[in-house]
Amino acid sequence: MTIVVAGENRLAKDNLISSILENSEINAMSLDNLEDVVAAADSMDADTLVLLDYEMGAAIETLYELRSRLNGRLWVALYSAPGNPDEAMRCLNLGYDGYLPRTMPASAIVCAIQLMMRGERFVPSITIDGSPRMFGERTRSLSALSPRQSEILSLVATGASNKHIARALLVEEVTVKSHVKAIFRKLGVRTRTEAARYMLTGAERLRPQQALF
């Protein structure tokens, strides 16, 4: 799995790459502009996610050209300054696979990347509907999780199976399974993907911090 981060803001780009490398085993590389991305597309593997800086003015033609090089076997998302509803909607309308605000915690960015590379589109709900009611309900549900359940949910969001989580936490698999069921019940979700998405869209409000880049 490889992430290609393209942008003209070197500090923002380097900080994003550092966050990815520190929180996962994903390979990451840096490119400076859209022309470099298009030129490198032929050498990209099918399991590559390209993150484009929204400020570069990534055009829909660039998205189409990138995907045509690999017959559609390429994920392309935008990263941007703190979430903007207009940017998020434009991202969806243009067909991008995701939109990552810079204020997302590093662990949440990695989880979002994992979701996109499993075929899910990711746009934090705060950029679409930032109503206090919605986030109040979401953060209260997440806060209801025990520390162990929160830890397991973070691992679930990376795509880890119950067996792998059990090994990582040095507990029995049946214990993890019990916690996962409790997490689903508290969050009101039915699948691991729904649980991961729920965590990601509420992560920023639960753990507020400065922009990563």
What per-residue confidence (pLDDT) applies to 70? 59
How far is it, in rounded angstroms, from Cα 83 to Cα 163?
Answer: 35
CATH class of the domain comprising 132-206: mainly alpha
CA atoms of 2 and 27, how far apart (whole Å): 5
Name 54's Cβ contacts closer than 8 Å, sequence gap at least 6: 78, 79, 80, 81, 87, 91
Q: What percent of the chain has pLDDT over 90?
A: 7
- Residue 190, judged by CB atoms within 10 A of its CB (0-12, 13-18, 19+), counts as exposed
Q: Across residues 140-148, what is the average pLDDT? A: 77
The domain spans of the chain are 2-125, 132-206
From residue 168, how far is each of 20, 150, 156, 196 by CA, in Å? Answer: 20, 14, 12, 18
Query: What pLDDT sits at residue 200?
Result: 67
Residue 209 clears pLDDT 60, i.e. is over it: no
Quickly state the pLDDT bin for 133 (edges 50, 70, 90).
very low
Q: CB–CB of 49/29 below 8 Å? A: no
Contact 20, 104 (CB under 8 A): no
d(CA 75, CA 96): 8
DSSP 122: B
CATH class of 2-125: alpha beta
Report d(CA 186, CA 143) in Å as an integer: 10
- Tokens 């994920």: give the residue: 75
Percentage above 70 pLDDT, the chain: 76
pLDDT at position 73 is 60
Report how far apart, in Å, the C-alpha atoms of 124 and of each of 44, 130, 167, 194 are.
27, 10, 30, 13
Please give the structure tokens belonging to residue 12: 């923002």
CA distances from 106 to 2, 147, 161 (A): 17, 19, 21
Q: What is the pLDDT of residues 86-130, one digit of tens each?
A: 777 777 777 788 888 877 777 778 878 877 877 777 777 655 444
- In which residue are the tokens 């810079």 written? 102
